[in-house]
Structure 1
Amino acid sequence: MHSGVKSGAAAAIPALQGIVSRDFFDAIFEQSHPMYVARPDGTVIYANNGYASLFGTGRSQRTGSQILPALRSDHRDIVTRIARTRDVETRQVSVETARGTEYYLSRHFPIHDQNDGFIAICGSFINSTRQVNAESKLRLEKRRFLDITRAASDWIWETDVNGNITFISDRVVQAVGQPPLLLRGRALTDLGTFRKEGSGSSKAETAMENHVPFRSVPMTIESIDGETKVYNLSGVPVFNEKGRFVGYRGTSDDITARLAAENEASSSRADLEKAVREISHKNLQLEMTAKKAVAAARAKDEFLATMSHELRTPLNAIIGFAEVMGLETFGPLSEKYQEYVTDILNSGRHLLSLIEDILDIARIESDKIPLELEPTSLRNLVDDARILVQKKATDKGLDLSAVRIDDDIALHVDPTRSLQIIVNLLGNAVKFTPEGGKIGADTEIRDGNMLALTIWDTGPGIEESDQERIFEAFKQAHNGIYSRGEDGVGLGLTLSLKLARLMGGNITVACEPGQGSRFTVTLPLMP
């Protein structure tokens, strides 16, 4: 027996059959979307072929002279629920067909007779595969656009027709120190000051007045904590489908470091040209110029110690010239000078990696430092580290003869990070050991799979209450070796501990005031 719907609500199927023929009834509903009509107990009283072919479960039930498919379990649950609540339910469902995964928007509603008596539940299914796939593709394209935008710029922005910010990405916090929520509704020019041209106006503001694109216009931004940065802003006008101007959208890039490097390079070139002219015409001023250069170099070193971004340019020059010297492009070098060139290259490359670590200090805090674990020689690591600290040790008259590994051991570590750890531990020992002291290294195999490398010294030691404090970032002990005013920002031990733990190891300290210090780093052995 069949059942149908009358005037959007419902009427009993016999009433419809009294008006139209059964063949006409079947023809109408077979052309409809997949649908079913079921009694409150879940018995199917009508289901067209669309529903049977889409959701047929292999089971069937006989109703009168008709064999109808049984409801799918989730549809039966919906019928049971509507029979109890008399509410309409709408949901998205997915179906595996021969054409692949298809999506249908289903609507399940109660049917009432002419006397408003509840008699059945009807469910219809409209194919929404194209819409779902389009929405999914749109989400993927939006994510792709955002990923590309984030990779190509620091932050993105949008304004309305009046130049007020309607959207700005989260990374703007790095520029102004305020969250995007507080910036929406403010004028774009409130963020900072565009660089003016000869006419007295900026290229960006002129372009925005004329509704034309602009590119790479510097804007100086001062954050709430007083830090000043320079960003290159680029933007394009946005028009609606009727061609009416509705605002701007664009990107920004932090060029503070680049400008500083360019200014430093320009200043260095000017100083060099001046020095060459003075040397050419005034040989008598050579000694004075040399003294000025030494003083300038000392001031430069102190400045670059806290400005890691600006270290790249001169450091790359050092590495480049050392490589040229190593190739003997302008003449042969003695064996001793070849050793010096090799030491310069090794030291320069290692220092460059340390600068990158400083720039990535945020990733250290979130334990997202990338590691490349590989077989590594402990002897080579200790030898390289000793070379890097040898000069400072020699200047203080320290004995490094005990810093050696007699029996080589293969580690399973990141060689660059491991060298950084050992250099930090040796550097601290050299820094805080008095003149004429001694520094050494001991090894021990623990648990069959870990190496314990201990760097010991004859320095003043550390108070027990400060032994945990020295591993905290930017912290120094109130008493002991870390209160002696030595240079450094207090990141060496923190960074070393993080790196050791990321490689599966650890760093501990054992010492007493006046008895020297023993820093032990554990690292995994090769399996």
Structure 2
Amino acid sequence: MTERGQGSVVSLHTDVKSTSGSEIPSMQGIVSREFFDAVFEQAPPMYMARPDGTVIYANSGYREHFRPGAAQRVDDQILPTLPQDHLDIVTRIAETKETETRQLSLNAGQTTEFFLSRHFPIFDDENQLIAICGSFINSTRQVNAEIKLRDEKRRFLDITRAASDWIWETDADGKLTFVSDRVVQAVGLPPMLLKSKRLADLGVFKPEADGGNKAEAAMEQHVPFRSVPLEIQDTSGDYKIFNMSGVPVFNDKGRYVGYRGTSDDITARLLAEDEAMSSKAELERAINEITQKNMQLEMTAKKALESAKAKDTFLANMSHELRTPLNAIIGFAEVIGLETFGPISDKYREYVGDILNSGKHLLSLIEDILDIARIESDKIPIEIVPTSLAGMVADSYVLIQNHAREKRLEIIGTRITENIDLAVDPTRCLQILVNILGNAVKFTPRNGTIGIEYEIIDETFVDITIWDTGPGIAEEDQEKIFEAFKQAHEGVYSRGTDGVGLGLTLSLKLARLMGGNITVKSSLSDGSRFKIRLPLAH
């Protein structure tokens, strides 16, 4: 008989009986039955079966590991049958007459054993299939080692994938031999196109402060390097920055064979850092500007305090140094005008009248300036009490009636019969009414008319309107008349009348201090209407 399989042929002649009682071919008298049994019993598990699946021989290793099924009688001999999976292999080889090699697993209690099996046909001298033989080599250790190696590789890849974007390897010449698949997401190129390239071919390493290249210097010295930025332009034209880290690799003999390393995309992080640095720089600039402005404000506030203090000192001195001699001048002029110490001529009487009027005008001007200064310094006293509107109008009329009679002006509406109380400071309210009425008398031509009207607004305010038949105020000048030392440039306000433009300014400030306001409507042909709004007392 001959075995045909994988190129080897063994000639077998004569038959001998095995220890199991079956006939086993002998080797031309050289191989005895005892020798055959001794050799195959020491061999790994094996079986020999006829093409129909009948077992011819099975050594103890096979019977121990695979535990064949029920016994069968063959030529008055009892032999076990093959397991079903082995029987399927025998049936298949009987048809194909081809050798099969396969890995088989075997459950052994709580563990699994693996066997590398080889199943081959045996032919006689006439090339007729007479038997099928199967041998089994225990490969459990090798398979477990491969499984462990596969698990370790999978664990390594998982950790590397989690720790970096892509990994790489080079040979001793610095050419890439391996690049992980995730490089496609990083640079837009498949690993195949990157092999045999150098790292420096992929992009540009960021130089150090001294102009050197940390990564290339390390690779020349075969030492590790870490976190060296590499700028790569991907296929879309965008630039990305990767942190490259690598370690040298040496074989068992200590010979340098290349590098292994990782790469992390830090583009987004660098952009965020740049934005943060830019924001920080802008914040620092803003803080510096604010600090400088605060210093300027402190200096300005200090100067303002000094100016306010100087102004208060000036006002106090002015109040004493100007009002005291003016009061004396006015008093002496009145005494001379009364001829207390003897008669005076008409010419001197005229001069005394001019002195008296000029002194009173100058004293009034000084009082207005002092009042405006006090308002701006929040030092003018305001005492709000219920005050009769009719009384205020009557008192103000008394103070301007002589001047009105001299110009033969008609004043209507001065008698108010309705009982209306204002929530104002009486002195300051009278000052406002006298200023507005005085202006109406001052700028209304002879034989003109002046009127006083009032209207209650929402049970909260009363609007007191003082109108005249004078030439009026141009529209562009109506806001200017409320500014200090400003007078209108058209109409009668351009003439050389008494006053320097403080009456309306002071009146507006006083009205607003008491919660009211003053507005004006006028035209150059219809005269003027000044509306004084003051709060009502409840």
What's the TM-score once normalised by structure 1's chain length? 0.51
1:487 match: none
What is the CA–CA distance in structure 2 between the aligned matches of 1:120 and 1:285, rounded to whole Å? 111
**Aligned residue type for 1:11:** L
What is the CA–CA distance in structure 2 between the aligned matches of 1:246 and 1:196, rounded to whole Å? 26
CA contact (8 A) 1:157 1:251 kept: yes
CA contact (8 A) 2:165 2:186 kept: no
Match of 1:186 among 180, 197, 203: 197
CA contact (8 A) 2:2 2:122 kept: no
Are 2:181 and 1:153 equivalent residues in the alignment? no
Quote how far apart the aligned CAs of 1:217 are.
Answer: 0.4
Match of 1:61 among 51, 72, 87: 72
Quote how far apart the aligned CAs of 1:121 are.
Answer: 1.0
**Aligned residue type for 1:91:** R
**Residues 102-158 of structure 1, C-alpha deviation per residue, up to 9 Å, x if partnerless?**
111110111123454432111101111111111011101100000000000111111
What is the CA–CA distance in structure 2 between the aligned matches of 1:101 and 1:193, rounded to whole Å? 53
SS in 1 for 2:231: strand
2:142 match: 131
Are 2:121 and 1:110 equivalent residues in the alignment? yes
Q: 1:30 to 1:215 in 2, by over 3 A?
A: same
Quote how far apart the aligned CAs of 1:43 are.
Answer: 1.2
CA contact (8 A) 1:93 1:106 kept: yes
What is the CA–CA distance in structure 2 between the aligned matches of 1:121 and 1:29, rounded to whole Å? 16
CA contact (8 A) 1:9 1:111 kept: no
Match of 2:26 among 5, 12, 16: 16
Q: 1:21 to 1:175 in 2, by over 3 A?
A: closer
Aligned residues: 284
Are 2:238 and 1:237 equivalent residues in the alignment? no
SS in 2 for 1:146: helix
CA contact (8 A) 1:11 1:111 kept: no
CA contact (8 A) 1:56 1:70 kept: no
Are 2:130 and 1:119 equivalent residues in the alignment? yes
**Aligned residue type for 1:29:** F
Match of 2:97 among 82, 86, 93: 86
Match of 1:74 among 85, 92, 114: 85
Q: 1:88 to 1:218 in 2, by over 3 A?
A: same
1:220 match: 231
1:381 match: none
Q: 1:89 to 1:256 in 2, by over 3 A?
A: same
What is the CA–CA distance in structure 1 between the aligned matches of 2:79 and 2:159, rounded to whole Å? 53
Q: 1:273 to 1:99 in 2, by over 3 A?
A: closer
**Residues 135-182 of structure 1, C-alpha deviation per residue, up to 9 Å, x if partnerless?**
011101100000000000111111112221111112212222111121
Quote how far apart the aligned CAs of 1:10 are.
Answer: 5.4
What is the CA–CA distance in structure 2 between the aligned matches of 1:174 and 1:99, rounded to whole Å? 44
What is the CA–CA distance in structure 2 between the aligned matches of 1:261 and 1:243, rounded to whole Å? 43
1:33 match: 44
Structure 2: give runs of 5+ residues left out of the alignment: 17-24, 298-538
**Aligned residue type for 1:146:** L
Quote how far apart the aligned CAs of 1:243 are.
Answer: 1.6
**Residues 263-288 of structure 1, C-alpha deviation per residue, up to 9 Å, x if partnerless?**
222222222222222222234999xx
2:188 match: 177
CA contact (8 A) 2:45 2:136 kept: yes
The 5 A counterparts of 1:10-409 are 11=12, 13-14=15-16, 15-16=25-26, 18-64=29-75, 66-98=77-109, 100-283=111-294
Instruction: Indicate the structure (1 or 2) with the bigger Cα radius of gyration.
Output: 2
What is the CA–CA distance in structure 1 between the aligned matches of 2:284 and 2:82, rounded to whole Å? 90
**Residues 336-367 of structure 1, C-alpha deviation per residue, up to 9 Å, x if partnerless?**
xxxxxxxxxxxxxxxxxxxxxxxxxxxxxxxx
**Residues 364-407 of structure 1, C-alpha deviation per residue, up to 9 Å, x if partnerless?**
xxxxxxxxxxxxxxxxxxxxxxxxxxxxxxxxxxxxxxxxxxxx
SS in 2 for 1:170: coil
What is the CA–CA distance in structure 1 between the aligned matches of 2:2 and 2:113, rounded to whole Å? 26
**Residues 248-305 of structure 1, C-alpha deviation per residue, up to 9 Å, x if partnerless?**
110011111221222222222222222222222234999xxxxxxxxxxxxxxxxxxx
Q: 1:112 to 1:285 in 2, by over 3 A?
A: farther
SS in 2 for 1:138: helix
Quote how far apart the aligned CAs of 1:205 are.
Answer: 0.6
CA contact (8 A) 2:44 2:137 kept: yes
What is the CA–CA distance in structure 1 between the aligned matches of 2:267 and 2:36, rounded to whole Å? 76
Structure 1: give runs of 5+ residues left out of the alignment: 287-527
- Percent identical pairs in the alignment equals 65
What is the CA–CA distance in structure 2 between the aligned matches of 1:138 and 1:112, rounded to whole Å? 41
**Aligned residue type for 1:9:** V
**Residues 416-445 of structure 1, C-alpha deviation per residue, up to 9 Å, x if partnerless?**
xxxxxxxxxxxxxxxxxxxxxxxxxxxxxx
**Aligned residue type for 2:118:** R
